[in-house]
Structure 1
Amino acid sequence: MLKNLNTFTRFGRQIGRNFSSVTATSSNAKEDITQVHDFLQEQALKENCILVDNEDNAIGAASKADCHRVDKKTGAVKLHRAFSVFLFNEKGEMLVQRRSVHKITFPDTYTNACCSHPLFDIENERTEENAYGIRRAAQRRLNYELGIPTDQIEPDNFHFLTRIHYANTGDGKWGEHEIDYILFLQKDVDLQPNSNEVSDIKFLKRSEIDMAVSRFDAPLTPWFKLILHHRLKTWWDNLHQLNKFEDHKTIHRFA
């Protein structure tokens, strides 16, 4: 179990070989996923996300690369399904991670515990009833990103609150456009972050959140900033009565 909850940790597991120095070497190569500087992140771009319309109806699939590439002509990014996990320990402290510099979208930024996508290619992650596909994807990604053993978190442990729709063009090449499922989880778990995904983690107290964010030496991801501004503090103040904040019908579109 993580012992020191109020200082940044700098530990992680390296998956396989150290691929961080892998680069595209051809000066005249086409602009595609082979231009990504990190092998593991490049491979992840080949996974297929679930495309949705504005009402979160599944309408097909596209690679993670296609779902995050900003269209040069229109500035648009394909709308797809995603989730954001907010993880709290039994003392009510919230885990914040610093995304690795290897990440394709919003590298080296602070965000909530885990942010990712259900995959079209994994059949049980396409299940929509009670957001079970999303829950299974969250279980998988918490294991991959933070090293949380899958037997410590079951799909039913997640509290599905609501959905938000947001878009951000990022660096102009890679951006986000998502229907984002908000999942809360309060449990003490074992952590072994994957250094290809996460560079630092920290548990924050509710009373410290504003000061802590003001002192971060890197920006927040746009979705974390949006949720923090509009809803997070209220939800955090009500961890033991989240049922009354459930809203599975509305897709919030914050300005």
Structure 2
Amino acid sequence: MSSTTTTTTTAITADNILRLFAGDVDTNVIGQARQSGGRSADADLAGYDEEQIRLMDEVCIVLDENDVPIGSASKKVCHLMENINKGLLHRAFSVFLFDQQNRLLLQQRASEKITFPDMWTNTCCSHPLGTPSETGADLPSSVAGAKRAATRKLGHELGIPAAQVPPEAFKFLTRIHYLAPSDGKWGEHEIDYILFAKPKHAVLVEPNLNEVRDTRYVTKDELRDMFAQPDLKFTPWFKLICENMLFAWWDKLEKEGDVVAFEEEQHIRRM
């Protein structure tokens, strides 16, 4: 099973980013990621699913270790371990969506996924893009961008209509900074915005099978039972959040119907 890794990479700053990643990072922050060549000639992506290859062109927000945007780069560039090992860091979000019975919606990532295929994880995990609506320079605008991205990706991955979980439905809890390899080539190095949502009405879930292999709603005990099953694999960030934070948040949600006591931490939790 993949595991998280202590972040001991080079600290990326606005001063050294061009020296380290001159051909791959656009320091304009918002704009087009630089591409080194066409996808058809890209040996790193040879043999993967065509739609997942296309998504590797999406533009992620490159950060320094204080979550300040200092550039933008393709999803592919941000997820190659050779770049992560040099310190490349990007912004992400993780959605935890609960129903009215306080059950958490999980997804199993599709086999077609390039990183962490077939693993169970929280409701939705992805990245705000390097666009004006999803990039923020301070915490409030960055949270707003992550919420917009979360609504967009719930639709893309799970078919949940935007009107059922609009950006204002999310509560931002905290940010975590972690590094996790997927295999020898790919991995994650992210500052991850944790977003909770508990819609008042049941949501429509129609998974995009190129993104999501399976879904299920679980109670806390059912999730613990899943963790005990040796044949099930989980994404490292989900395990990390569960082991350190999730069950305390979940207790609060069950007892009081809300997670306000944990909301909007200003500091970044370094994992």
Same structural fold, with TM-score higher than 0.5 when normalized by the shorter chain: yes
Contact 2:92 2:190 in 1 (8 A): yes
Which residue type is aligned with residue 157 of structure 2? E
1:115-158 deviation per Cα after TM superposition (whole angstroms, max 9, x unaligned): 000000x3201135251100000000000000001111111100
1:154-183 deviation per Cα after TM superposition (whole angstroms, max 9, x unaligned): 111001000000001220101000000000
From 95, 106, 112, the equivalent of 2:116 is 106
1:44-90 deviation per Cα after TM superposition (whole angstroms, max 9, x unaligned): 00011000011100001000000000108x83462000000001101
Unaligned runs of 5+ residues in structure 1 are: 1-25
TM-score, scaled relative to structure 1: 0.83
Unaligned runs of 5+ residues in structure 2 are: 1-39
* CA distance in 1: counterparts of 2:171 and 2:153, whole angstroms: 16
- Larger relative contact order (C-alpha < 8 A, sep ≥ 6)? 1
1:186-227 deviation per Cα after TM superposition (whole angstroms, max 9, x unaligned): 122111000000000011012322112212633110100000
For 1:213, the equivalent position in structure 2 comes to 227
**Aligned pairs, number:** 224
TM-score, scaled relative to structure 2: 0.79
* CA distance in 2: counterparts of 1:193 and 1:137, whole angstroms: 17
For 2:249, the equivalent position in structure 1 comes to 235
**C-alpha displacement of 1:253:** 1.1
* CA distance in 1: counterparts of 2:74 and 2:156, whole angstroms: 19
Contact 1:67 1:77 in 2 (8 A): no
Q: Secondary structure at the match of 1:192?
A: coil
**Sequence identity percentage:** 47
**Over aligned residues, Cα RMSD in angstroms?**
1.7
For 1:81, the equivalent position in structure 2 comes to 91
* CA distance in 2: counterparts of 1:150 and 1:206, whole angstroms: 27
User: How do 1:19-168 residues align onto structure 2 when only pairs under 5 Å count?
Assistant: 31-33=43-45, 35-71=46-82, 75-76=85-86, 78-120=88-130, 122-127=131-136, 128=138, 129-130=140-141, 131-168=143-180
For 2:17, the equivalent position in structure 1 comes to none
Stretches of 4+ moved more than 4 A in 1?
Answer: none
For 1:23, the equivalent position in structure 2 comes to none
Contact 1:70 1:77 in 2 (8 A): no
* CA distance in 2: counterparts of 1:59 and 1:247, whole angstroms: 23
**C-alpha displacement of 1:32:** 3.3
